[in-house]
A and B are shown apart, each in its own frame.
Chain A
Amino acid sequence: MMLTIAFRNIFRQKRRTILTALAMIVGFTLSSIVIGLSDGAYSNVIEMFTGNRIGHIQVHRAGYQDKPSIYKTISDYESIGKTIQNENGVEAWTPRIYTGGLGSVDERSTAVQIIGIDVARENKATHFNKKVIEGNTLSETASHEVVIGEKLAKTLAATIGSKIVLFSQAADGSIANDEYTIVGIADSGDDITNRVACYLHIDDVQELFVLEGRVHEIVVIVSNINKVERISNTITEKLDNTSLEILPWYQVVKSFYDAMQKDKQGDAVARFIIVFIVAIGVLNTVLMSVMERTREYGVLKAVGTKPIQVFWLVIYEVVIISIGSIVIGAMLGVFFNYLLSVYGVSYAEGFTLAGVEFGKMYAEVNVACLLIPATTVFVSAVIVSLFPAIKAARIMPARAMRIH
């Protein structure tokens, strides 16, 4: 019967019900959009860092991550790659060689990063071919070709077909020096890489630096980024090689990851403010409702309704309004987040984070953008209703009926 009375009270006091519901719906929708945009932005950043650049898991010679060196190589990378590929959830793997040197085109010279890649595997793992914005990608066999970063091309005033001379020191101490044809210009999406990168076929780099059969890094791409930790642990177990270090992406870019987590805490503050505003709105309307109906509660108690039943009557009303508001808020949240996931929001000014350029923020429709607002709206509404509910339950019937 209390549930029936609560339900009918909601429709009896339509204006107050609408006010309470509006506070909850607006709070839910705003909270959902904040979460959707925030998660979407993080996913975008993570995708830029992982899918196109560092991969989800990296394998190195132990100590390479802290202090990279041309000598810290992985020699049997093909068999390691096969072991990794057999792991459930692994989508692709690709080997890389990293060294530094001097690049010269005609009279112009600058420091460059020489990246040796397995073209076929790199295309599959990080879509390298899609980064080439001018000219062609590298041949799948060693052909003395090079793809250079967009800004490096400007620095060296290089064009497609230009010859670049790379000069460095090989792993055996000899001088590494050779000429390559620029076949393409790439935009990696990473400002720093664009300024220095020279992509060569892995066989050319192994030959130039006397690193036959050896690489510095194996990049692993998984199908579900949320399973990185499990897959990373399994690979570590299966390789069972203490001379290797297997790191998930968030350890590879630990400082970036930590900064991102701190930024997320900032979002939690924004969320708390929204919930606080919702809670104040709900408290206000529920308290008004209880005050206006003091007489009714007095009558209910006078005819034998227990204090706990009056308490539940107030809570039921809030719970019913909350559930309705959550349903409407969820539909609005999904709708706006979907729109924002398709069209995005342009930043007033684009910015570069850890070398990656960002111009738009896209939302994400996920469980969190429904579950977190639903929980916070429901719990905060019930919590702030406790005070009016206790107040209603403790009403002295004679006084309640006398005052009003």
Chain B
Amino acid sequence: MNQTEKTDVIIAEGVTKIYDADGIPVNALNGVDLTIQAGEFTAIVGPSGSGKTTFLNIISGLDAPTEGKVSLAGKVISEMSGNELSDYRRDNIGFIFQAYNLIPVLTVEENVEYIMLLAGVPKAERHKRVIDILKVVGLEGVEDRLPTQLSGGQQQRVAIARAMVSEPTIILADEPTANLDSKTGTDLLEMMRRLNTDTGMTYVFSTHDPLVMERAKRLITLRDGLVESDETRE
């Protein structure tokens, strides 16, 4: 895909976030301007408290900025209602969390199909896509297990499958390898990198992990709520 043809998926303009910590204002982001383009495999890095997770939460609509504007695929998310945001996240964003965050009472298959169910995808189509994606993430044969019956690496694979199955515009991953051993982490990252190359799906990571940084095509460093550096690699 030619770089000049890429479209802007996320545009963050002057994004500021100030938390109230027991009456003391804490500046998590201080006017961040960033654009993420389709097909990127981007890592946002920085020390603890630099604003990585906050930035991820704001560009996904999980949190609201104190100031500034975020557009995702051409729509300003701060102008959306609660229901519009839910629909928007469901249709456009796949999440991968550090703590996996699977729904504990649902089986692997049900967890993966949950978002498609919300979107009204027919049962047969859901089942086919679940089987296909579980094959891609190497989880054939565990469809009927509950999350508690899986290892950490398997649970994260389920989370990746859940994030990807509805073919969202972008996948946001917050410290996806933090709870995994290095081999499992490497395997999963290689898998995501391959999927990024094969499908052109956009990935944005928030991470400390050198394994992720090594594989990122773009590395954005945040410090004290500001973009310190923005490096694109070949």
Contacts and interface: CB of A to CB of B under 8 A. Distances in A.
Interface of A: 1, 4-5, 8-9, 12, 295-296, 299-309, 396-399, 401
Interface string B78-97: 00001100110111000101
The contact size tier of chain B is 20 to 34
Query: Does more than half of chain B's interface fall in helix, strand or loop, or is it mixed?
Result: helix
B1 interface: no
A5 B89 contact: no
A238 to B, nearest CB: 65
5 contacts: A5-B105, A303-B90, A307-B86, A397-B62, A401-B62
Interface of B: 57, 60, 62-63, 82-83, 86-87, 89-91, 95, 97, 101, 103-106, 110, 114-115, 117-119, 162
Given A303-B118, A397-B57, A401-B101, 11 more contacts: A1-B118, A5-B105, A9-B105, A295-B101, A296-B104, A299-B97, A303-B115, A306-B86, A307-B86, A396-B63, A398-B57
Contacts of A396: 62-63
Contacts of A296: 103-104
B104 A398 contact: no
Interface of A is mostly: helix
B82 A307 contact: yes
Contacts of A8: 105-106
Contacts of A309: 118
Contacts of A5: 103, 105-106
B114 A303 contact: yes
Contact of B62 (A4, A12, A302): A302
Contacts of A1: 110, 114, 117-118
Contacts of A4: 106, 110
Contacts of B104: 12, 296
B103 A302 contact: no
Contact of A305 (B63, B86, B110): B86
A304 B118 contact: yes
A73 B72 CA distance: 95
A304 B83 CA distance: 9
A304 B89 contact: yes
Going nearest first, the 7 A-B pairs with the smallest beta carbon separation are A304-B90, A8-B105, A398-B63, A398-B62, A398-B57, A299-B101, A397-B62
